[in-house]
Structure 1
Amino acid sequence: MKKNSTHKTYYTDGNAVDDILGRIKTVLAVKTQTELARLLDVGKQSITDAKKRGRIPADWLMRLGRLKDVNPVWLETGQGTPFLHAEKQHVTGLMEYPGHYHSNDFIYIPLVKAKWSPDQDTLESDHDIESYYAFRREWLKGKGQIAHMRLLRVTGESMVPTLRDDDIVLVDLSQTDILTGKIFAVGIDDEICIKRLDKKPGIIVLISDNRLLYPPIDIEPDNSANVRIIGRVVWMAREAM
């Protein structure tokens, strides 16, 4: 993971941490630090440490987003409404980019469970958001068109060692021109795979990094009707084991 590309921990002063923890208690309907630690699935000491250090782990906010549909912008700043569905319906002023929330220097990109719809020529993801990851606005601007960015989870081992099963990639859906050797998300029928791309006259070549088990695949014109280049992978991340 590149330095300063994501915001894995929220750094604030002590008062701001108290405010964020207070908002978390509000949406969880708890009053004590012990109850809060239990529902966040962390030790009570973790709450105390967060207050002392002036840091809120981003995992706490993402967990709340997944479990409770909590708006991360509201948790961090108090702006808007507590829940994402309400945010979408009533506070559209915070929607700088469609499907993306922003706060100060950060843009929240959705991690989606996505399927490609060849019939509609779209990436279906609106109702399958797992969570949001915060990226620095200026860093994203250098990577492509922010409004067209989505995070996808890698499945399978075809791109080992570059990408492993369950890694996360940031895809810019606006970048669909083939660049030889670059990594793209590709829709095949209603499934999505992550591959390097090459091209020959009239042929698209899908290349896996794990070539011993997954040889290159040539897609000829007659077989390309249900193959779509969804977007270019511009960033990747892996959880530490």
Structure 2
Amino acid sequence: MTTDFGKRLKEARKAAKLTQVQLAKAAGIGQSTLAELEKTGYGSARVANLAEACGVSVMWLSDGTGSMHPTTALSPSPAPGVPVVHVPLLANAGSMGPGTDIQHDDILVGQIALSEQWVSRRLQPTNLNALRFIHAYGDSMSPTFEDGDILLVDTGIRDPKIIDGVYVMAANDRVYIKRVRQRMDGVVEISSDNATVKTVDVLNGDHRIDILGRVVWCWNGRKL
């Protein structure tokens, strides 16, 4: 029999349009654990992570107190009269696959207005002027990103040794979107999130790779 907590968790996930795999990854738990929570769970030590990933109230998810979506919650969409950040939307794209041809100049196609408070509190960018929206194509980063997603990139973060994450990078006149992490032995490793794509490389100086920025948010609501 499904528990009340499990029902709320599943409702929150469905409302956020996330799969079990996507939510589990965002909350730092296994997909099988999430599936069990949605059936027989009475709570979780990761309830705050689950609530944030789904964009719902922690108290509501935990015990049903209050509303699912509190009106005081921060939103990326600016309310009337609040300060906004106009982030450039570029025609430039990154590939989650074999790479796309590099465009040496930013090609502006529009702007997307975001709440300045939301950007500052949730994303904490190096500089508001360093943010750029780009398009992502391919399937090598699925399920984290899907083909056609719009990604928010902080171009002020260019050293993967400072913080692991998903980066936009250029190599051999191609642009890629890959996960970058520093191993315990100090080696910086590049990989894909798609389990069917066995892409693993290391930054060992044999070829030049330029880090163009770190992906900090996806239009599907995921913070990286």
Superposition TM-score tier, normalisation by shorter sequence: 0.5 to 0.7
State yes or no: 1:197 paired with 2:176: no
Whether the aligned pair in 2 keeps the contact of 1:170 and 1:235 (CA below 8 Å) is yes
- The CA deviation at 1:124 is 3.4
1:123 Cα offset (Å): 7.3
Q: 1:180 and 1:129 mapped to 2: Cα distance? A: 28
Partner of 2:204: 220
Which residue is equivalent to 1:114? 92
2:156 pairs, out of 166, 174, 197, with 174
Residue type of the partner of 1:106?
V
Structure 1 alignment gaps of length 5 or more: 12-102, 117-121
Q: Secondary structure at 1:222's aligned position in 2?
A: coil
DSSP-derived class of the 1:141 partner = helix
Over the matched positions of the two proteins, sequence identity in percent amounts to 24
**How much is the aligned-residue C-alpha RMSD, in angstroms?**
2.9
1:81-230 to structure 2, matched below 5 A, reads 105-114=83-92, 124-126=104-106, 128-142=107-121, 143-144=124-125, 145-178=127-160, 179=162, 181-200=164-183, 203-223=187-207, 225=208, 227-230=209-212
CA distance in 2, matches of 1:188, 1:202: 21
Q: 1:183 to 1:138 in 2, by over 3 A?
A: same
Answer whether contact 1:185 1:195 (CA < 8 A) is retained: yes
Unmatched runs of 5 consecutive residues or more in structure 2: 1-15, 17-54, 56-73, 95-101
Decide whether aligned partners of structure 1 residues 232 and 123 sit closer, same or farther in structure 2, where only a CA change above 3 A counts.
farther
**2:76 counterpart SS class:** coil
Give distance in 1, aligned partners of 2:182 and 2:103.
Answer: 23
Question: What CA deviation, in whole Å up to 9, does each residue of 1:66-112 have, x standing for no partner?
Answer: xxxxxxxxxxxxxxxxxxxxxxxxxxxxxxxxxxxxx8511111111
Residue type at the aligned position of 2:175: I
Which letter maps to 1:114?
Answer: N
Secondary structure of 2:138 counterpart = coil
Tell me the residue number matched to 1:4.
75
Paired with 2:140 and 2:77, the residues of 1 have a C-alpha distance of 26
- 2:140 alignment partner AA: S
| CA shift for structure 1 position 183 | 1.2
Higher helix fraction (1 or 2): 1
* One-letter identity of the residue aligned with 2:92: A
Q: Secondary structure at the match of 1:139?
A: helix
User: Per the alignment, do residues 180 and 174 of structure 1 end up closer, same or farther by CA in structure 2, a change over 3 Å counting?
Assistant: closer
Amino acid paired to 1:168: I
* Mapped partners of 1:177, 1:219: distance in 2: 12
Query: Amino acid of the residue matched to residue 194 of structure 1?
Result: I
* Distance of 2:181 and 2:219 partners within structure 1: 24
Name the CA shift for 1:191/1:115 in 2 (closer, same or farther; >3 Å).
farther
Q: CA 1:6 to 1:207, structure 2 compared with 1: closer, same or farther past 3 Å?
A: farther
Matched-pair contact (CA < 8 Å) for 1:111–1:132:
yes
